[in-house]
Structure 1
């Protein structure tokens, strides 16, 4: 696919809280299943990606 970064790096770069909120909005609108549990755990623990130094990866 020649992406400059993989999907988990992209989520960390964008902010896990942003993606989590979007997934929860889609669920409320009936358009999706909501956020995966692993994402929910990371966000609730304050691991939001690059902006906090921890997400799927440590920075």
Structure 2
């Protein structure tokens, strides 16, 4: 599951149930807004531009 999908699910749960525990964290929103969506963009929580994913510095 990608970051964009996760963010979408979190928004639906937060709006549908009205519970703040489902509000997406600002970190996830920031990554999605900047286009760092994981494997499909080769950038996200990990850098996928190589043989093995590594944490970006």
The alignment's TM-score, normalised by the length of structure 1, stands at: 0.71
Q: Which segments of structure 1 move beyond 4 Å, counting only runs of 4 or more?
A: none
Higher Cα radius of gyration: 2
The alignment's TM-score, normalised by the length of structure 2, stands at: 0.73
**Unaligned 5+ runs, structure 1:** 1-13
Number of corresponding residues:
46
CA RMSD of the aligned region, Å? 1.2
The structure showing larger relative contact order (alpha-carbon pairs under 8 Å, at least 6 residues apart) is 1
